[in-house]
Copies of this chain bind each other. A is one copy, B any other.
Amino acid sequence: MDQKTEAVHTSQQILDIAQRLVQTRGFNAFSYADIANEMNVSKASLHYHFTSKAKLGVMLIERYTNDLGKILDEIDRNADGPIAKLRSYVDIYTRVLANERMCLCGMLAAEFVTLPRPMQTALDDYFEANELWLAGVLEEGRHAASLQFKGSVSDAAQFIIGSLEGAMLMAHSHGGMARFSAAARRLLADFGV
């Protein structure tokens, strides 16, 4: 492996570990030392790849948003209709929780006021992306009469996001996967799924 490949690889590994730490402990409760210990490198090495914790945080959110985009694209390509899309969307959360993690951005939402501005902005983008995609699915479902719900699609989209994040938050600390699954089933049922 040449230097550049190695560099990319290291950066990715740092992001992977940092992401897991944020998803389990939160942004304010992990440190460069945590990552350094796990990788058996010095803290200074990490600063070579990410000059500040704030920038590392922004990169985490942007990568997470990007990964979500790819998943949503794949759902759009493969899922057969709004009901399947909604189910697949819920499955995203299920898989995260199965890894004993919180949604990265749900965790960061709790810490929102303590985060540096650039991270707050990146968070806004993440949730907006979720909302826009969901609104599209709901609109499609309403038009095809395969989904039943009242009110605006954006209100409904925001409700779904909030309920899933909240169910995840509670399941992560109290009740585990069984609790989340029950909540997800009930939520889907509210939309006729």
Which of A60-68, A70-78, A105-113 is the contact stretch?
A105-113
- Given A109-B170, A109-B172, A124-B174, A186 and B156 contact (CB-CB distance below 8 Å): yes
Does A15 count as interface, using CB distance less than 8 angstroms? no
The closest CB in chain B to the CB of A186 belongs to B159
Does A12 count as interface, using CB distance less than 8 angstroms? no
Most B CB atoms within 10 A — which of A107, A109, A159? A159
Interface size class of A (residues with CB under 8 A): 35 or more
The closest CB in chain B to the CB of A149 belongs to B186
Q: Write out the residue numbers on chain B whose beta carbons fall within 8 Å of the beta carbon of A170.
A: 109, 127, 158, 161-162, 165
User: Residues of A at under 8 Å CB distance from B?
Assistant: 24-26, 28-29, 102, 106-107, 109-114, 120, 123-124, 127, 150-151, 155-156, 158-159, 161-175, 179, 182-183, 186-187, 189-190
Q: Write out the residue numbers on chain B whose beta carbons fall within 8 Å of the beta carbon of A123.
A: 173-174
The closest CB in chain B to the CB of A109 belongs to B173
Cα distance A102–B169 when bound, in Å?
13
CB pair A112 B158 closer than 8 Å: no
- Given A155-B186, A182-B155, A183-B159, A114 and B29 contact (CB-CB distance below 8 Å): yes
